[in-house]
Amino acid sequence: MKLNVKANIPRPDDFYQQLIVMQKDLSDDEVQLANAKLILILANHIGDMDVLSEAMQVAMPK
């Protein structure tokens, strides 16, 4: 599997809205915990260490 960095979500605004709603009533610490859990769940779903490593490199601030 190769990392796909092109738009791949049919309705990205809907996903973003769900993400905002998920975090709505959470404290900053709870938001960080929820985001960390979401990252780990999605990483497990991807399951390819090469893809995950590449994604981490792409996500690093320049």
* Domains in the chain: boundaries: 24-59
- Summarised one tens digit per residue, pLDDT across range 12-38 is 999 999 999 999 999 999 999 999 999
Dihedral sign for Cα 3, 5, 9, 10, please: negative
Q: What's the predicted TM-score (pTM) here? A: 0.87
Share of the chain above pLDDT 70, in %: 100
Question: How high is the pLDDT of residue 17?
Answer: 98
